[in-house]
Amino acid sequence: MARVKPKRRGPSMDLTAMSDMAWLLLSFFILTSNFREPETVAVVTPTSVSNEKMAEENMMIAKIDGKGNFLMSFEEDDRIPALERMGEKYGVKFTDAEKKAFKSLPEFGVPMAEMRQFLNLPADKQATYNPGVPLDTIGGAKVELVDWIFEAKETNPDLFLAIKGDEASEYKQFKTLIKQLQEKNMNKFQLITSQE
């Protein structure tokens, strides 16, 4: 008599626990990640072959946008002391509300003469108003950008400068900034580029 073979069944696995674990991991990484502060002005950096990474803390960034305007950004803890030192230097007094508004700014591009009016603007108007921090070359009359850098360095000597320029900005803007820094014996800084 012919023998009947039972059908073989492969091992079955319940993947419910695996999908639950994937969702838990995804939720964990989303909740614990640090989100980058939004940029006031988007800057498309030129490419380079350097693979050296920028430090993640104790950084101040001087940014040059496509129109040639200068912007600054600091670590959150260094913002108010730098503002106070610049206020003393330029004879501008800031209220506590203005200091709080300045501390919440990820970056700014406003001359000191307009800083109080800028800090009292609503947040949506602040995002669109960036005439640039002055860095004049004629007689070195207004070198506010360099003053910001050195005053921030006075408040926190561990701060390191990085220069981030848009690929559409002119070379003379970089040259002017670097020349002004070298005149004050600051020769160590990084140029931020994107990977080629």
Residue pLDDT, tens place only, 126-143: 888 888 888 875 554 578
Residue 57 is part of which domain span? 47-195
Residue 96 within a domain? yes
Residue 11 within a domain? no
**Three-state secondary structure readout of the chain:** CCCCCCCCCCCCCCCHHHHHHHHHHHHHHHHHCCCCCCCCCCCCCCEECCCCCCCCCCEEEEEECCCCCEEEECCHHHHHHHHHHHHHHHCCCCCHHHHHHHHCCCCECCCHHHHHHHHCCCHHHHHHCCCCCCCCCCCCCCCHHHHHHHHHHHHCCCCEEEEEECCCCCHHHHHHHHHHHHHCCCCCCEEECEEC
Residue with tokens 């991991």: 25
Residue 1 within a domain? no
Residue 65 within a domain? yes
Higher pLDDT, 25 or 36: 25
pLDDT given for residue 98 in this prediction: 94
Residue 186 reports pLDDT greater than 80: yes
Residue 92 banded pLDDT, cuts 50, 70, 90: very high
Residue 16 within a domain? no
pLDDT given for residue 40 in this prediction: 66
pLDDT given for residue 80 in this prediction: 94
Residue 148 banded pLDDT, cuts 50, 70, 90: very high
Interval 106-125 mean pLDDT = 91
182: left (phi over 0), alpha (psi -120 to 50) or beta: alpha
Residue 23 within a domain? no
Residue 98 within a domain? yes
Residue 49 reports pLDDT greater than 70: no
Interval 97-101 mean pLDDT = 94
Interval 20-30 mean pLDDT = 89
Interval 146-160 mean pLDDT = 92
Choose among 145, 102, 93: nearest CA to 126. Answer: 102
Count of domains forming the chain: 1
Residue 85 is encoded by which pair of tokens? 């030192």
Residue 42 is encoded by which pair of tokens? 């988007």
CB contact at 8 A, 70 and 174 = no
